[in-house]
Amino acid sequence: MPKEDQEEELEVLKSIYESDECFKEVNSTTFQYRIGEEGEGMSFLLEVSWGEDYPEVTPNMSLDAFYNNHIHREIKDDILQRLGEQAEENLGLAMTFTLIEWAKENREDLMAKQLHILENKRIEGETKAQESPERQVDQGGGNKKEKKEQLTKAQKRRIADRTDHRGERPRGWDWVDVVKHLSKTGGGKQDG
């Protein structure tokens, strides 16, 4: 019976989410849905997998996708625990749509702590930038002020363009272009 229920739910999910770019069918029993706008610090990717006995048992739910690396572990655990409670209430019923919609409706509440973490990081960054724009340098009893370098708006914009929302550069930004390097050095061939 669970197999028939799964086939029916699969058809329903496909018809509901066929034009929704947030929905992805990984395989016939695993689905991903992006909750929130892409690239936004408050978005997350929910993965729901059905076991053999689903919907008589709760589905496996995961937030372990690379997309969710920006989310604190404690927040992921809280989201999964609350989704698990929703799944328990719907045992025996097709619940993937219900879980996705519940997560969409409660995204702000689910991610509220994440917002505090993001704000704290931003405030820490601003505080560090504002701390001691001038440093005191004591040289032989005399006090001289050494000005800290100030960045122009254009310099700050260039830095922001090269970094992601966390102020980090993308993976591989400093990698050597091996192909270009080999072509300049003779293709890596050794003289014999």
CATH of the domain at 66: 3.10.110.10
pLDDT in tens, 169-190: 667 666 655 555 566 666 655 5
- 3-class secondary-structure state, position 111: coil
- Whether 61 is in a domain gets the answer yes
- Whether 104 is in a domain gets the answer yes
Taking a C-beta distance cutoff of 8 angstroms, is the pair 60, 49 a contact?
yes
Task: Name the residue range of residue 35's domain.
Answer: 1-118
- Whether 184 is in a domain gets the answer no
**Distance in angstroms (rounded) separating the CA atoms of residues 30 and 27:** 5
- Whether 71 is in a domain gets the answer yes
Phi/psi for 26 (5° steps) reads -70, -45
Q: Is the pTM of this model over 0.85?
A: no
Instruction: Tell me whether strands 142-147 and 30-35 are parallel, antiparallel or unpaired.
Output: unpaired
- Whether 76 is in a domain gets the answer yes
- Whether 189 is in a domain gets the answer no
pLDDT in tens, 82-126: 999 999 999 999 999 999 999 999 998 988 887 777 677 667 666
Q: Do you find a cis peptide bond into 55, omega within 30 degrees of 0?
A: yes
What domain count does the chain have?
1
- Whether 143 is in a domain gets the answer no
- Whether 67 is in a domain gets the answer yes
Taking a C-beta distance cutoff of 8 angstroms, is the pair 98, 61 a contact?
no
